[in-house]
Amino acid sequence: MSYKKIYLKPGKEESLKRFHPWIFSGAIAKVDKGVEEGDTVEVVNANNEFIAIGHSQIGSIAVRVLTFEQEEINHDFWVKRLNAAFDLRKNLGLVAGEYNNAYRLVHGEGDFLPGLVIDMYDGTAVMQAHAPGMHVARYEIVEALKEVMGEELKNVYYKSESTLPFKADLNAEDGYLYGGNAGNIATEYGLKFHADWLKGQKTGFFVDQRDNRALLEKYSKGKRVLNMFCYTGGFSFYAMRGGAELVHSVDSSGKAIDLTNKNVELNFPGDPRHKAFAEDAFKFLDNMEYGQYDLIVLDPPAFAKHKNVLRNALQGYQKLNAKAFKKIKPGGIIFTFSCSQVVSKENFRLAVFSAAAQSGRRVRIINQLTQPADHPVNIYHPEGEYLKGLVLYVE
Ligand code: SAH
């Protein structure tokens, strides 16, 4: 093993002894000459003793740890990590094929592959590097993925233009690294959808709401459902399968509304229960009538992407939820979410609590939701828990 070294300041290895996978720039005393953005490096303590191996990066997170063992980061390493990730998803029954073929195969730190995300859509892997090291290793990762998945893998689409730190200046180009002749219809719990990885947000679909959509389906029978911030309409087609009386989908993006209509059409062609509106969520809630809906989904984009905008974000969540509390039919149900990593479960609950109090209505929490099992949280990296949801019963 002959990686360039990064030397920690005395005593700065404490968090690493607890297997936290990030090393902040403030903990570093010295860096070997010639270490470049995305290089694999060996981290040693002030006494030159081995601590970890990881990917270096410019910024406040200076190293993302790949392993705490003295091992080579080579083909076998990637195969080992990807195998472990694939095994978990097989165990969860997500790789079955006909009933479900959309799932997250790699969830960054949660799969001990910090900075790497891979979502699977019927044999097409959509791969995103959030850290330069994963960008540098992308071809090796694809080779390992081919070995691990065999015939299950038909295409790999690399999509990191917008996820890599812009300072890195890596000129990442989106495109196929394997295959390229991909259809884009996948199946989630028996329902079909288009995953538009070429033009859509993130990897093309939000697989993290799968289990929460399934819960909504159970509560939808005979209900008038409003799916706010619908994007691809995920919650809408589950509500329809659950027997909703009507489903209205709202998103400010015209493209999202087109996607929603297409996805509803795939599953329920010509079904008159569904309507989609390209409108601002806040305005739509202001204009709707009291009692018009008895099930409302609020799944907005992350209101806070950084700690310094946390206060504004919490006010945003409060404002949004207050509007739904004010208008929902008595005996109604609200599914409300936050996907901002910097908003804690407690803070989110406080924002929703304030909104409820403002409405003066009697509100109870009936379910507490989070991300599904294919988005595991590394127990040493609690920051990996990002999706929070509450299901509320409003009288
Ligand atoms: N619920 C979706 C994911 C939502 S992503 C799912 O299950 O997949 C957030 C969506 O909110 C995006 O599609 C974005 O276009 C939309 N959006 C952002 N700001 C909005 C606003 N002010 N009003 C309505 N939609 C908005």
CATH number of 5-67: 2.30.130.10
> CA 132 → CA 15, 22, 42, 173, 381, distances in Å?
23, 14, 16, 13, 20
What are the tens digits of pLDDT across the range 317-361?
Answer: 999 999 999 999 999 999 999 999 999 999 999 999 999 999 999
What are the tens digits of pLDDT across the range 138-187?
Answer: 999 999 999 999 999 999 999 998 888 866 678 888 999 999 977 899 99
CATH number of 75-188: 3.30.750.80
Best substitution site from 251, 262, 282, 339 to test ligand 1's pocket, by max atoms within 8 Å of Cβ? 251
Question: Parallel, antiparallel, or unpaired for β 124-129 and 116-121?
Answer: antiparallel
Q: At which residue do the structure tokens 């995953």 appear? A: 195
Q: Mean per-residue pLDDT for 92-99?
A: 87
Residues 215, 217, 219, 223, CA torsion sign:
positive
Q: Is 339 among the catalytic positions? A: yes
Tallying the residues shown for the chain, one arrives at: 395
Same fold, 5-67 and 206-394: no
pLDDT at 14: 87
pLDDT at 108: 98
Best substitution site from 189, 252, 279 to test ligand 1's pocket, by max atoms within 8 Å of Cβ? 252
Do residues 80 and 30 touch, judged by C-beta distance below 8 A? no
pLDDT at 300: 97
Q: Mean per-residue pLDDT for 26-34?
A: 96
Measured from CB, residues less than 6 Å from any atom of ligand 1 are 206, 209, 229-232, 234-235, 251-253, 256, 280-282, 299-301
What are the tens digits of pLDDT across the range 218-262?
Answer: 999 999 999 999 999 999 999 999 999 999 999 999 999 999 999
Domain 206-394 CATH assignment equals 3.40.190.80: no
pLDDT at 244: 98
Q: Residue 251 Cα, ligand 1 centroid: separation in angstroms?
A: 5
For the chain, give the mean pLDDT. Answer: 95
pLDDT at 123: 95
- For the chain, the structural domain boundaries read 5-67, 75-188, 206-394
Report the distance separating Cα 354 and Cα 351, nearest Å.
5
Q: What is the pTM of this model?
A: 0.96
Q: Mean per-residue pLDDT for 368-386?
A: 96
Comparing CA positions, the residue from 186, 249, 202, 245 lying closest to residue 221 is 245
- b/e burial code for range 115-143 (CB count within 10 A of at least 16 → b): bbbbbbbbbbbbbbbbbbbbbbbbeebbe
pLDDT of residue 73 exceeding 90, the answer is yes
Alpha-carbon dihedral of residues 230, 233, 235, 241, nearest 10 degrees? Answer: 150
Angle between helices 210-219 and 234-241 (to 10 degrees): 40
Helix, strand, coil share of the chain (percent; to 5): 35, 25, 40
Question: Parallel, antiparallel, or unpaired for β 332-338 and 295-298?
Answer: parallel
pLDDT at 20: 95
